[in-house]
Structure 1
Amino acid sequence: MVLEDASPRLLLPVGLLALLPVAWYGLGSSLAAGVVSAINVVIILSCLYVAFGPVSGNHDHDTAGSPS
């Protein structure tokens, strides 16, 4: 499988693996810093999931209706 052909649903669990170092960091420092870091990772993964997800609607690139 080529990485470019992978769907966001397939790559989301890989991105969630980023929570492991965040948990390690949270256990080593204050709990509040670990929670804030975990929230940041989840926000970033959510944004990437939405950004690389399928686009709904008709996106026809027909130039017949465009002004010239």
Structure 2
Amino acid sequence: MTTPAPVAARPASPRAPAADGGEALLREALSKASREVIEKIAWEVVPQLAETIIREELERLIKDRETQH
């Protein structure tokens, strides 16, 4: 009788439950989602804020220049 060849162990699935109950995966997912939300907000807010600051500074510089002449 022939002995069957040993079956290689399946590699652990990347989604296999971790010893911490999946907390590490949850933290990673939450971190990614947080980064995406923060980046989206930054792309919406920063350009508008920069434009406002630049316009105010230009107005101030123009007024300063006019008062010097």
TM-score bracket relative to the smaller structure = 0.3 to 0.5
When the two structures are superposed, what TM-score results if normalisation uses the length of structure 2?
Answer: 0.36
Q: Select the structure with the greater relative contact order (CA < 8 A; seq sep ≥ 6).
A: 1
Larger Rg: 2
When the two structures are superposed, what TM-score results if normalisation uses the length of structure 1?
Answer: 0.36
